[in-house]
């Protein structure tokens, strides 16, 4: 689902300090909500809660719970986490280039 990718993207940006679930929900909601595909914040929040619970159970899980209640981060000891960081780093490096290189072929009008 599209939410999964956004969750991992926000967790990568949060870094070692982690991010509270409320802020994670808000970021994913803002990234996925649009005029033509509206989503409910409660729907996104419930999905994120279940996603985090599924992916943070064991020490090898990609997401780990921090010492503060409700704060999560990517598990630095998991192999899949380092792959995610590299994947998003490559994605961000490619997005800095313009998607389309359009040559301006318009004519200049003389000023009188």
Is 97 part of a structural domain of the chain?
no
22-51 pLDDT tens trace: 999 999 999 988 888 898 999 999 999 999
Ordered strands of the 71-74 beta sheet: 19-20, 71-74, 63-65
Using N-to-C axis directions, what is the helix angle for 41-54 and 2-14, rounded to 10°? 70
Determine, yes or no, domain membership for 53: yes
Q: Assign residue 9 the CATH number of its domain.
A: 1.10.10
pLDDT of 103 > 70? The answer is no
- Is residue 91 in some structural domain? no
Q: What is the pTM of this model?
A: 0.68
Residue-wise pLDDT for 51-77, tens only, equals 999 988 888 888 888 888 889 988 887
Residue-wise pLDDT for 77-95, tens only, equals 776 655 655 655 555 555 5
The answer to whether residue 55 is domain-embedded is yes
Are the C-beta atoms of residues 10 and 19 closer than 8 Å to each other?
yes
CB atoms within 10 A of CB 27: 20
Q: How far apart are CA 53 and CA 64, in angstroms?
A: 10
């Amino acid at each position: 689902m599209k939410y999964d990718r956004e969750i991992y993207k926000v967790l990568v940006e949060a870094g070692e300090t982690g991010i509270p679930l409320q802020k994670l929900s808000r970021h994913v909601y803002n990234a996925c909500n649009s005029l033509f595909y509206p989503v409910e914040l409660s729907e996104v929040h419930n999905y994120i809660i279940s996603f985090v619970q599924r992916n943070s159970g064991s020490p090898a899980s990609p997401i780990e719970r921090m010492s503060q209640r409700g704060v999560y981060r990517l598990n630095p000891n998991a192999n899949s986490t380092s792959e995610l960081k590299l994947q998003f780093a490559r994605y961000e490096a490619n997005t800095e280039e313009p998607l389309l290189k359009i040559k301006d072929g318009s004519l200049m009008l003389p000023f009188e």
